[in-house]
Amino acid sequence: MYYLHIYNSEKEEGSIVLPFEDMQPMINFVVDQYQKTIKRLKTNNKKYQKITSTWDKNKYDETLEESIKNFEFGIFCSMEITICYELTPEYNEEKHSEKTKRTEVIHWEIIKNYPLKEKEIVNLMMNPDYEFECNISEEMFSGEVTLPGAAYIWFEDIGVEFEFCIENGENYSAIYRMDMNKAGDDFETDHDEFCHYEIDPTDPEWKTNLEIAMCKTLIGLHRLDLHLKEKDIWRMSSKIVGMRFSSIEEMKEWIFKELNLKEYQLPDFAIGESSINDEIREGKANVDYVLNMTLGKDIVTPGYNDYSIMYLLDNNDQMIVTSVLCD
């Protein structure tokens, strides 16, 4: 999907935006409008003078159609085409009743639409401290490759690195966490925290989709969208008491939903049976069953945030939560 923003400084109503599903109809429309506008201005030399035109191009002698086809559209990278001209003194006085020299502009801006709905990613990309670098060429898609530093995102003192690796027909590519070192003069890559990602070489938007995936990974690994407070945990703990669950997985799903979190935001979250439960089943202990739960390290308070969820079993082997304790 493309959007064409058209602006004419002579029109009081401002600008219009036209949508196009495909590139070629959009190109045909823009080129036709451009050529007709240039012809109209040049054939009316009693009204218009000093006509100039510019557009974004890769080569000096590239035609407008070629430039649009070759333009590398990006999430925040649109193509601009501009025609500038002056009104002749006679026509200016006739039309505007003034003698001040007027320069008018007709401007087309071509914007490519991307399926980017996450406001966290948009906010990240718009930040002045955000920087994306891609060192991959499409020639690398044809065979085996091992390329550390294939792409980077730097954001203040954190970031992510994409390592592009295909060996023996297996894709080992992944996005790794990066942090500024203690000296504050370079970034270090943590190969223990990563997210597997494969580039689709048939995807014409592979570079844009790689950048979006790296943004998501940066937000997830560095927990930029995690706004969890201690009071949120205790609110959840009070609500869960008395509830019934048929499995640990069902309880886990409820906890994440109640805290309004996605699993990637708590990569170290774990919940499972305590060893004392075996003693209870064997009749060696007469206490409530226990589930051990951890949110991970430094989530709501310094250190590991661990909890014990006590429960009883009803006649249908459903877990009835009796209390939640902070360890």
For residue 107, the model assigns a pLDDT of: 92
320-to-16, 17, 93, 257 alpha-carbon distances in Å: 60, 58, 86, 19
Element of type H or E holding 154: strand 145-155
Question: How far is Cα 317 from Cα 7, in angstroms, rounded to an integer?
Answer: 68
For residue 272, the model assigns a pLDDT of: 95
Sheet holding 15-20, edge to edge: 15-20, 2-8, 103-112, 79-87, 48-55
Domain boundaries, the chain: 2-112, 119-221, 230-326
pLDDT digits (tens, 9 = 90+) for 18-41: 999 899 999 999 999 999 999 999
User: DSSP labels for 84-152?
Assistant: EEEE-HHHHHHHHS--S--EEEEEEEEEE------HHHHHHHHSTTEEEEE---GGGGGS-EEEEEEEE
For residue 175, the model assigns a pLDDT of: 97
233-247: burial string, b at 16+ Cβ within 10 Å, e else: beebbeebeeeebee
Whole-number average pLDDT of the chain: 89
Backbone angles phi, psi at 129, to 5 degrees: -85, 0
Q: Give me the count of residues in the chain.
A: 327
pLDDT digits (tens, 9 = 90+) for 249-308: 999 999 999 998 877 678 789 999 999 999 999 889 899 999 999 998 888 888 888 999
Question: How far is Cα 37 from Cα 19, in angstroms, rounded to an integer?
Answer: 21
pLDDT greater than 80 at residue 140: yes
pLDDT digits (tens, 9 = 90+) for 162-214: 999 999 989 999 999 999 998 889 999 999 999 999 999 999 889 989 999 99
What contacts 196, CB < 8 A, 6 or more positions away? 173, 174
For residue 115, the model assigns a pLDDT of: 66
pLDDT greater than 70 at residue 98: no
Tokens, residue 274: 């305590």
Q: Are 249 and 263 in contact (CB under 8 A)?
A: no
For residue 226, the model assigns a pLDDT of: 72
For residue 112, the model assigns a pLDDT of: 85
108-113 average pLDDT score:
89
pTM: 0.56
For residue 117, the model assigns a pLDDT of: 67
Question: How far is Cα 291 from Cα 271, in angstroms, rounded to an integer?
Answer: 7
Tokens, residue 126: 């718009």
User: DSSP labels for 141-152?
Assistant: GGS-EEEEEEEE
Q: 105 - beta bridge partners?
A: 84
